[in-house]
Each structure stands twice: as C-alpha cells, then as structure tokens.
C-alpha cells in the first residue's frame, strides 16, 4: 500500500525548509556578498524562481536566516515572558550561533542586508511588546534585544574576557534580575535621589 499523497501546502513547506537550510549553510560559509540565489537554488535542489516567489529577494531571505526564529510564542505572565526571553538567550550562548554570527558580520559590510535584518528584528520586538502592556513596552523590549545581541557579540565576536568562557547558566543567572526588572517595568531608583531624600 502506497503512502498518502503530499498536499501542496506540505510540498511548499518542505521546499521552503530546504531553501532556508541551504541559505544558512551558504551564507555562513561564503558570506552575504558571495552567496547567490542560483547557488542556494542548486544546494536546495529547486528553481531560483521559486526562491524569489517565496522570499521576494536575497535581502529578505538573508533576514529570515539571520533572525533566529523563536521556538515558543511569547505570552503569559511577566515572569513567564522574562523566562522565555532568557531561554532564547541561553540557546544562543550554549551553542555558538554560526548562522547568526555570519549574518552579523555580513550586516556590517552590506547596508541593504542590514536593513532587512533590522526590519525582521523589529517585527520580533513588536511581538514581544504586545505581551508587555505598558506605555514604554517598545523601550523595554528594545533593551532586552540590546542585552541579548550585546551578549552574543561580546561572547563570540569580541571574545571578551570572562564572558567568552563563562558557563551559560552563570551568564543567565546574572542577567535574570535585569530581564525580570525590564519586563516588569520596575526600574531601580537613582541612588543619588535616595541619598538626597535622606538628608
């Protein structure tokens, strides 16, 4: 008895997955400039026209690869949101994110690619802001993004002392109070103001 026929939607999903996997490999190995749509199509065993139909441009495909998809949708209490964001950071610093780092290197040299990555990151930031119902949610999700990106860059691209070789659990433990404070919107009072009030 033969296997059930694959639906058109499933065929499309499989093709997109092959394209994304091929793009990740080639962008990581050759960088943005030297990776062509034709090379990605050959690697993915598909047609270049399909890549353009699904992803519109090389820049948009690069952005899909560069911005790591969140495995779990954001939602829940502020505590749960903070822990989901910490888990996402933990995944990035536990195993070196080769694709994302290759993308970051390319971004510095190719403004057109950087623009698309920025748009994709902003979309993620807006999604996070929707579950933090406060007037400065954009600011706070932006700070979380900056902490995440800065930690990854400092650990892998800059190799800063201490951070480069620190156990991921230790890094997350030190950042946990900051993530929770930012998500909750509970800033620490300025100690100068406190000392003036004590006079």
pLDDT digits (tens, 9 = 90+) for 105-116: 666 777 777 776
The more confident residue out of 17 and 95 is: 17
| 12-33 residue pLDDT tens | 999 999 999 899 888 878 878 8
Residue 63 sits at the vertex; the CA angle it makes with 61 and 69, to the nearest 5 degrees, is 105
Q: Is pLDDT above 80 for 3?
A: no
pTM beyond cutoff 0.75: no
DSSP state of 186: -
Summarize the confidence of residues 122-129 as an average pLDDT: 78
DSSP line for 91-119: HHHHS--HHHHHHHHHHHH-HHHHHHHHH
Q: Is pLDDT above 80 for 188?
A: no
Q: Residue 17 contacts by C-beta under 8 Å, 6 or more apart in sequence? A: none
Summarize the confidence of residues 153-160 as an average pLDDT: 88
Q: Residue 129 contacts by C-beta under 8 Å, 6 or more apart in sequence? A: 137, 138, 140, 141
DSSP line for 29-96: HHTTTT--HHHHHHHHTS-HHHHHHHHSSHHHHHHHHHSPPPSS---SSHHHHHHHHHHHHHHHHHS-
Taking CA atoms, 191 is separated from 4, 184, 188, 194, 198, in Å, by 67, 20, 8, 5, 11
- pLDDT level of residue 121 (50, 70, 90 thresholds): confident
Taking CA atoms, 196 is separated from 188, 193, 199, in Å, by 16, 5, 5
Q: What mean pLDDT is reported for the chain? A: 82
- Structural domains in the chain plus CATH codes: 8-55 (1.10.10.60), 78-186 (no CATH)
| 41-56 residue pLDDT tens | 999 999 999 999 999 9
């Amino acid at each position: 008895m033969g296997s059930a026929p694959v639906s058109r939607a499933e065929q499309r999903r499989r093709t997109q997955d092959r394209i994304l996997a091929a793009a990740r490999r080639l962008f990581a190995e050759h960088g943005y400039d030297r990776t062509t749509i034709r090379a990605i199509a050959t690697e993915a065993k598909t047609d270049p026209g399909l890549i353009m139909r699904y992803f519109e441009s090389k820049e948009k495909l690069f952005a899909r690869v560069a911005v790591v998809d969140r495995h779990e949708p954001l939602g829940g209490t502020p505590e749960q949101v903070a822990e989901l964001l910490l888990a996402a950071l933990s995944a990035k610093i536990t195993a070196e994110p080769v694709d994302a780092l290759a993308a970051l290197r390319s971004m510095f040299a190719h403004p057109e690619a950087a623009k698309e990555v920025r748009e994709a990151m902003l979309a993620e930031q807006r999604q996070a802001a929707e579950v933090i119902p406060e007037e400065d949610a954009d600011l706070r999700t932006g700070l979380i993004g900056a902490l995440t990106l800065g930690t990854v860059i400092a650990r892998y691209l800059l190799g800063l002392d201490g951070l480069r070789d620190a156990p991921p659990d230790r890094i997350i433990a030190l950042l946990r109070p900051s993530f929770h404070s930012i998500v909750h919107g509970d800033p620490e009072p300025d100690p100068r103001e406190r000392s003036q009030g004590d006079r």
